[in-house]
Chains A and B, each alone.
Chain A
Amino acid sequence: MSTTKELWVFAEQREGKLAGVVRELLSEGQILAEKAGFTLAAVLPSADGAAFCQELYNFGAKKVYTIDDPKLADYQNDYYARAVAQLINEKRPEIVLYGATTIGRSLAPTVAVMVDAGLTADCTQLDFDVEAGNLLQTRPAFGGNIMATIICPNHRPQMATVRSNVFKKTKLSDNESGEQVPYSVDLSGVPERMRRLESVHEADSTIDLNAAQFIVSGGRGVGKPENFKIIYDLASELGAAVGASRATVDAGWISHHHQVGQTGKTVCPVVYVACGISGAIQHLAGMQSSDVIVAVNKDPNAPIFDVADFGLIGDLHQIVPEFQKQIAAAKA
């Protein structure tokens, strides 16, 4: 039997649900694995992994390493890092990809030092150099002013995190086949040094920026907190989530959950409507890869117009309500 090399995706689950980014990583992982001649596998620490396998096969995983343990039901850095690092040390994958979620950004750097691997954060593009056997990991640096391609020539695995919504997800079918490979890790020797006491979801569809097809965002040009109403009204007409620039978050006009950008969320909706946002590089870093960008700004020289597919030069206080009115009329 020839053992093929493997490309792994960390299958993050929370409270019984796979993180959306896992599907995206598998979809991209499939392209890379094909190019490299590797087998695509998922790594799934949880209390009971069997339930997730079909979904992972459907997005391209040929193998799922399930690591079942009651201690792995919810994310705990020590337990997860031990489980994943041990599996890596034993199976020696070539590449491991993680979502750059709050979990992935804690797990991946811990595992990286445990297994002596390089790690590139927040990649926006991945490619494989077949000749050298290197993963080409491209990411923005200095707030998006520059792009850098990082390689990791002498260490394996090569590891990267990728933010949500950077890659498209492609489901192959509803009944792909794959192999579940149960793996057991003895966690009894890992000291219990931290305990989760509470987990609170502040459910509100207007802040679910990751899932949204449409996002309407407001910036300082909105003028004052009350004026965010027109942004919300347009969003609700479009079934959109509401985003914001850091300036409005810092001013206390809207909660930080809405912030898009380098220090906020990275989003990739079908349509992103930026209203009264100048387009500072740190804001662009979080929304530049949206399919279609619409910008409303009264300053024709605002840098947001450099990335906008459709730029509307004018006063957002007139344009935004007008947009809402015409959408409503079209629906009626």
Chain B
Amino acid sequence: MNIVVCIKQVPDSDKVTIDRETNRLNRAGVPSIINPFDENALEMALQLKDLHGGKVTVISMGPPQADEALRTALSHGADEAILISDRKFGGADTWATSYTISLAIKKLEGVDLILFGKQAIDGDTAQVGPGVAHFLDIPMLTYAKSVEVTGNTFKVNKVTEDGYEVWDIDKPAALTVVKEANQLRMPSLKKKMAAKKAGIPTWGFDELQPEESKIGLAGSPTKVSKVFAPPIKLNKKTLSGEPAEMVAELIKNLKERNVL
């Protein structure tokens, strides 16, 4: 089983704040983490490898420091890592990112399964998985909770709004993975040491030979035109004191607003 896991390095959104004057993110000192959902994709891959053998390759596209996320993935048990990085890839939206990542995966041979996180927490778009799958012309399912190998196909349990569906999907396939799937195992000390020294190739423009019009800022159909702070609510009312009185006051207010 030859599995590729796409991981993104993101700022820990728990710790991001916004400067209300400049409307910019205060990024200084905000730690970078592996996108939490990608940890679930990684664990799904590792479990499949435990059962069926094979190889888990992690890929990340980003600035040189994304190397750190790849090493973390290696310490959790991934076998190989590839960094997709080039100044020319900068400013890519999900369209251009999907295209670029798909070129890297095309260079790898005999891939059976490509796993993505459900979405990345910086942009929350959930678009890169389906995009890559289309560029590779392979079938894709979103929101996978579990996967089983059944001969030349995978049996996938996917989450829906009000339950789940079971699908049979041909190899090679792409899946985006939800958090309920699993929890990433702890890194091992031995792997941590090895990960520090691991050679991680960087694939850039020369290695991937992309069409120039499809990468980076120029290859991105969407543009950010404005960034601003979320609005603050006015006319708030706070109550304190005896529970019975507070509740009575609340009910009166809700009735006045015609919602009760």
For the complex, is A309 an interface residue (Cβ under 8 Å from B)?
Answer: yes
For the complex, is B108 an interface residue (Cβ under 8 Å from A)?
Answer: no
**Please, how many angstroms separate the alpha-carbon atoms of A102 and B235 in the complex?**
36
**Please, how many angstroms separate the alpha-carbon atoms of A200 and B169 in the complex?**
18
Are A271 and B230 within 8 A (Cβ)? no
Within 8 A of A (CB), among B1-54: 11, 13-14, 16-18, 23, 25, 37
Are A102 and B223 within 8 A (Cβ)? no
Q: A143-B13, A148-B224, A152-B223 are in contact. Are A77 and B126 (CB under 8 A)?
A: no
**Please, how many angstroms separate the alpha-carbon atoms of A208 and B253 in the complex?**
26
Are B134 and A113 within 8 A (Cβ)? yes
Are A141 and B123 within 8 A (Cβ)? yes
Are B250 and A198 within 8 A (Cβ)? no
Are B123 and A150 within 8 A (Cβ)? no
From B94, B131, B239, give the contact of A313 (CB < 8 A). B239
For the complex, is B65 an interface residue (Cβ under 8 Å from A)?
Answer: no
For the complex, is A89 an interface residue (Cβ under 8 Å from B)?
Answer: no
For the complex, is A4 an interface residue (Cβ under 8 Å from B)?
Answer: no
Are B134 and A146 within 8 A (Cβ)? no
- Chain B residues contacting A185 (CB-CB under 8 Å) are none
Q: Which residue of B lies closest to A150 (CB)?
A: B222
Are A323 and B161 within 8 A (Cβ)? no
Interchain nearest-CB distance for B117 vs A (Å): 11
Interchain nearest-CB distance for B176 vs A (Å): 8
- Chain B residues contacting A196 (CB-CB under 8 Å) are 165-167
**Please, how many angstroms separate the alpha-carbon atoms of A282 and B257 in the complex?**
28
From A150, A280, A313, give the contact of B224 (CB < 8 A). A150
For the complex, is A119 an interface residue (Cβ under 8 Å from B)?
Answer: yes
For the complex, is B189 an interface residue (Cβ under 8 Å from A)?
Answer: no
Are B243 and A322 within 8 A (Cβ)? yes
Are B126 and A105 within 8 A (Cβ)? yes
Q: With contacts defined as CB atoms under 8 Å apart, how many contacts are there between chain A and chain B in the complex? A: 246
- Chain A residues contacting B11 (CB-CB under 8 Å) are 142
Q: A77-B141, A110-B130, A330-B251 are in contact. Are A262 and B121 (CB under 8 A)?
A: yes
Are B221 and A197 within 8 A (Cβ)? no
- Chain B residues contacting A323 (CB-CB under 8 Å) are 247, 250-251
Are A148 and B227 within 8 A (Cβ)? yes
Q: Mark A304-317, 1 if CB is under 8 A from B, else 0.
A: 01111111111100
Within 8 A of B (CB), among A166-219: 193-203, 207-208, 210
From B143, B238, B259, give the contact of A270 (CB < 8 A). B259
Are A201 and B243 within 8 A (Cβ)? no
For the complex, is A87 an interface residue (Cβ under 8 Å from B)?
Answer: no
Interchain nearest-CB distance for A238 vs B (Å): 8
Are A208 and B240 within 8 A (Cβ)? no
Q: Mark A125-148, 1 if CB is under 8 A from B, else 0.
A: 000000000001000111111111
Are A256 and B180 within 8 A (Cβ)? yes
Q: Mark B124-140, 1 if CB is under 8 A from A, else 0.
A: 11111111011100111
Interface residues on B, range: 35 or more
Are A145 and B140 within 8 A (Cβ)? no
For the complex, is A154 an interface residue (Cβ under 8 Å from B)?
Answer: yes
For the complex, is B163 an interface residue (Cβ under 8 Å from A)?
Answer: yes
Are B143 and A102 within 8 A (Cβ)? yes
For the complex, is B55 an interface residue (Cβ under 8 Å from A)?
Answer: no
Within 8 A of A (CB), among B178-195: 179-180
Q: Which residue of A lies closest to B138 (CB)?
A: A193
Are B236 and A146 within 8 A (Cβ)? no
Q: A118-B95, A271-B259 are in contact. Are A145 and B25 (CB under 8 A)?
A: yes
Are B142 and A322 within 8 A (Cβ)? no
For the complex, is B162 an interface residue (Cβ under 8 Å from A)?
Answer: yes
Q: List 28 A-B contacts (CB under 8 A).
A: A77-B140, A102-B142, A108-B127, A109-B131, A116-B221, A119-B222, A122-B125, A142-B122, A143-B14, A145-B230, A149-B228, A150-B222, A151-B222, A153-B223, A193-B138, A200-B164, A200-B166, A256-B179, A306-B232, A306-B233, A309-B237, A312-B238, A312-B240, A312-B246, A313-B239, A319-B243, A323-B250, A326-B248
Q: A105-B142, A136-B225, A314-B240 are in contact. List 8 more A-B contacts (CB 8 A).
A: A110-B140, A118-B95, A121-B124, A143-B16, A148-B224, A199-B165, A256-B179, A309-B235
